[in-house]
Structure 1
């Protein structure tokens, strides 16, 4: 049970920590100054949402996200949000691919070479399906977390630790709702694909609690680090490099490789959600489905990494507030309906 719970935890974290999050761009778009309480609130909301989605997925023994969506939204809105999830997964995977190309440019690898390498590895991954993806996350994500937290901790140590805890000046707390809402659709898509593989409820507590705690802690540390280089963040496509410029070039190489790996895991999560959704229509192997999806995505990466995130992410965050409310209220409504029936 513990091993399975940790495996799902890293799958969830791998869905979150991608081009937008690990690079710092996503955190900077939503948080920044006066955001400590907002990040703590995000952690609580993330725990609630992850557990509710896993519970529904477990009860439905789902193989893709549509049964979970029907439970949350009802039959009338399922079609609308089904289309939204498809569009979201498609566009965010485009962002991941663009981020993969942008990251490798730091190593003087041409942008399109990075894009081709990332897409080739995605197709290769889906020869093994979900099992290959969970194993990859369980290997890559702990390494990424250790290096990211280590880098940020050393940076804070050398510049003087600081944490904004004055609750009287925390005006950015509403960002917790839009930031959580932004990440709801990929969670629904990925967790919906593993419902038939969850065996015990304990797995859900470990996965949801562990991922919420780790993401909340890392977000606080990361946000405070970015605030210290706020004057330089806008000069970088990837804000993490504003912090890494204070480190030896070797560390830049290491973190670039791990950042690229995180981008890869999130792109894989997006492809997984799309493949599990379209499989019932096309009955193709996942690697072949991913090949055709990637052919459609590659031309769209020319819009630019930072531009895509700054436009798409806040928009989806606002649009997803309704599904966020549905997830939070779902246990309350279920208990109310059960009491009426009895």
Structure 2
């Protein structure tokens, strides 16, 4: 029973690390999947397979080589110059994403509750520090609350939509035209992109929990849960083409017709998902800095937040448009290297 609870907690951390505001708002699914029409469901399924296989490999390598942060994993599978570039890029990306989330938190509260942007930023920093100081425990606790809440909200919106619009079926979905056609490449890039983000949490988590079976089951369950969620969001978005492309938060456009309570629930979930990504990112980089520079985990947390605040004041749309595609390419290469290393060293013993 205790193990089952731990499996559920690991799956929640895995889902929480991947689901940021981008996925919870519908924006990520819309860009990487919905534009490819009904074939996007195949793309989501391929991502699920990538998560399970790569999650399994990352856990195996972390336990076998006693790794404590993503730096250790990157140095192991990519020891040369490319590995240093990947490590630097991952650190810059995670810190910049933390800054983007601070800015986003400020904007969200400013837009919907008309308070100063700094209120949203300060609230996000304050709660993040409280959770981060609890280490891995804090990470597990917040995701154990946020992820079930996310599932409840998305499933509620989906059930409401289906019960109000009775004429939905598979052939109807098939007839909705695709805007783009290279769905396979988009899925592979999206899957690889998320794996490198996950490594920052999966590596230290594996070393702390040390139960291979529990960890692998948790990642597999998390991958399936994430796939079901993505399927529901994708179906809702496809049914609302082309209107969803006009909105920053496409799911909010769909939730609008079901009244204020559903809207506020969705906005709260988006904010909570921003918060869980913020915590995951700072946790990952702190564990990395702790290993690389031998500074304490607590000092690393404060340092990252101090760096993130001024970056959050830059136009973050610019930041995203440059960083995300570059990081996606680096992640994709790293995923292939990880796979090659694992297969090449499968039967070698560690000294």
TM-score clears 0.5: yes
Alignment of 1:113 with 2:124, yes or no, is no
Asked if the contact 1:19–1:259 (Cα under 8 Å) also holds between the matched residues in 2, the reply is: yes
Helix, strand or coil for the counterpart of 1:174?
A: helix
Match of 1:74 among 74, 79, 82: 79
The reply on whether 1:100 has 2:105 as its aligned counterpart is yes
Distance 1:305 1:30, change over 3 A: farther
**Which ranges of structure 2 fall in alignment gaps of 5 or more residues?**
none
- How many residues in Structure 1 have an aligned counterpart in Structure 2? 336
Counterpart of 1:125 (choices 131, 142, 145) is 131
Deviation string 1:223-281 (CA, Å, 9 cap, x unpaired) is 12112333333432222211121121111112211221111011100000111111242
SS at match of 1:230: coil
1:161 pairs with one of 159, 164, 168: 168
Give the root-mean-square deviation of aligned CA atoms. Answer: 2.5
Matched, 1:218 2:229: yes
Provide closer, same or farther for how the CA distance between residues 75 and 315 of structure 1 changes in structure 2, counting only shifts above 3 A.
Answer: closer
Distance 1:232 1:295 in 2: 39
Paired residues for 1:98-247 under 5 Å = 98-104=103-109, 105-159=111-165, 160-163=167-170, 164=173, 171-247=182-258
In the alignment, the residues of structure 2 paired with residue 172 and residue 140 of structure 1 have an alpha-carbon distance, to the nearest angstrom, of 30
Residue 187 to residue 125, structure 1, CA distance change in 2 (3 Å) = same
- Stretches of structure 1 lacking an aligned partner (at least 5 in a row): none
Residue 256 of structure 1 aligns with which residue?
267
Distance verdict in 2 for CA 1:317–1:138, change over 3 Å = same
User: Are 1:107 and 1:253, in contact at CA under 8 Å, matched by a contact in 2?
Assistant: no
In the alignment, the residues of structure 1 paired with residue 340 and residue 297 of structure 2 have an alpha-carbon distance, to the nearest angstrom, of: 37
Question: What secondary structure does 1:63 align onto?
Answer: coil
2:28 alignment partner, one of 21, 26, 38: 26
**Cα-to-partner distance string for 1:100-122 (whole Å, 9 max, x where unaligned):** 22332223333332112111111
Distance 1:314 1:213 in 2: 26
- Contact preservation (8 Å) 2:7, 2:215: yes
Corresponding residue for 2:64? 59
Which residue of 275, 278, 295 corresponds with 1:283? 295
Deviations 1:44-73 (A, max 9, x none): 111111111112112233222222222322
- 1:286-325 equivalences under 5 Å are 286=298, 288-303=299-314, 308-325=319-336
Deviations, residues 22-60 of structure 1 (Å, cap 9, x unaligned) = 111111221113312111111111111111111211223
Deviation at 1:304, TM superposition (A): 5.1
Taking a change above 3 Å as real, the CA distance of residues 278 and 45 of structure 1, as seen in their structure-2 partners, is same
What secondary structure sits across from 1:161 in the alignment?
coil
- Checking the alignment, whether the CA contact within 8 Å between 2:69 and 2:284 is kept in structure 1 is yes
Paired residues of 1:100 and 1:263 also in contact (CA < 8 A): yes
String of CA shifts for 1:54-103, please: whole Å, max 9, x gaps: 12112233222222222322355332221111112112222222332233
TM (normalized to structure 1)?
A: 0.89
Corresponding residue number in structure 2 for 1:43:
48
**Residue aligning to 1:265:** 276
1:303 deviates by 4.5
